[in-house]
Amino acid sequence: MEVMGELDISWKDLRYSGEISLKLDYPETLFIEVYGPFGSTIVSIEKDKGRFVMNAGNDVLNDEKRFRDIFKMKIEDFINDITMRGERKRESDGTFSIQREDYRTIYHLNDSENKICWVSPEGTICITFLEINFDKGQPVGKSSNKNMQ
């Protein structure tokens, strides 16, 4: 799966809105880039078999446990949330949700907007899907072209 979208974060003291690209080959390969206002990558996350790297400016995180400490979710749960794996509950407002240990994932799936939000006492992270491409079994990695084909 390849996604171009908009990211909105209100997490602890962090507030950010901007563009995001996400590549996922379920179950364990993930690549995310968050772009600044001039198109430069300000945060990236790479996860594959036995390897995890999160770059945020001058900070490099290689420990998935630190990711869990910061975001109160396991990277595997985050991947499962993106692929809607887990027991879904239909809400009265037409959304779906999955309850995890420390947070809830809410899926807004309709004709005008498709969005996933992670909601916890720490705050909210939402990704609005602008473009999505499903190609089963394609290798995932950093691409020099930010536009999806």
Give domain status of residue 146, yes or no. Answer: no
Give domain status of residue 123, yes or no. Answer: yes
Containing structural domain, residue 113 = 2-133
Q: What is the pLDDT of residue 54?
A: 97
Q: What is the pLDDT of residue 138?
A: 55
Give domain status of residue 36, yes or no. Answer: yes
Give domain status of residue 42, yes or no. Answer: yes
Which CATH number goes with the domain that contains 25? 2.50.20.10
Give domain status of residue 147, yes or no. Answer: no
In this prediction the pTM is 0.86
Q: What is the pLDDT of residue 146?
A: 39
pLDDT in tens, the chain (149 residues): 999 999 999 999 999 999 999 999 999 899 999 999 999 999 999 999 989 999 998 999 999 999 999 999 999 999 999 999 999 999 999 999 999 999 999 999 987 889 999 999 999 999 999 999 988 655 544 433 334 33
Number of domains into which the chain is organized: 1
Cα–Cα distance, 71 to 14 (Å, whole number): 12
Q: What is the pLDDT of residue 137?
A: 57
Give domain status of residue 144, yes or no. Answer: no
Strand order in the sheet with 89-90: 59-61, 51-56, 41-48, 29-35, 14-25, 2-11, 123-133, 114-120, 104-109, 96-99, 89-90
Give domain status of residue 138, yes or no. Answer: no
The 8-class DSSP code of residue 12 comes to T
**Backbone angles phi and psi of 118, in degrees to 5:** -105, 125
Contact 59, 53 (CB under 8 A): no
Give domain status of residue 141, yes or no. Answer: no
